[in-house]
Amino acid sequence: MGEAIGRYGPNLKPPSYHELWASLLKKELQLTNDMLEDHKKKRAKYGCLIMSDAWTDRRQRRDRLYELLTAFMERIEEKYVIQVITNKGNNDVLRQQ
């Protein structure tokens, strides 16, 4: 690569940070979405589990955990969620709401 740059000459304008970053980010996003497609098909066929860990049983955190779990269940469509697993301190956070 260095030789190719040298052959082009000193007038070669390198890509900006934004041009590199945006291009790489778009490619990575596309790869991630492609990988998720297979997971979406399997989720529709088999269902899925949601797991959460390392939350204490204080009321504020339990409320936040409830918000996060319900938002995630809505995002992936609640009908596909077959089980929600939390650590022992929050094992009935969804039931209490």
Question: Is it the case that residue 29 has pLDDT exceeding 90?
Answer: yes
Give the Cα separation of 18 and 47 in Å (integer): 39
In a domain, 7, yes or no: no
Give the Cα separation of 28 and 5 in Å (integer): 26
Residues 38 and 27 in one domain: yes
For residue 90, give the nearest of 64, 60, 56, 67 by alpha carbon: 56
Residues 26 and 62 in one domain: no
Give the Cα separation of 54 and 67 in Å (integer): 16
**Residue with the two structure tokens 């596309």:** 30
Question: Range of 51's domain?
Answer: 47-97
pLDDT value at residue 55: 58
Domains contained in the chain, number? 2
The amino acid occupying position 80 is Y
More confident call, 32 vs 86: 32
**Residue with the two structure tokens 């918000």:** 67
Residues 65 and 19 in one domain: no
Residues 51 and 96 in one domain: yes
Residues 41 and 56 in one domain: no
In a domain, 6, yes or no: no
Is residue 81 within 8 Å of 73, Cβ to Cβ? Answer: yes
Residues 29 and 62 in one domain: no
Question: Is it the case that residue 79 has pLDDT exceeding 60?
Answer: yes
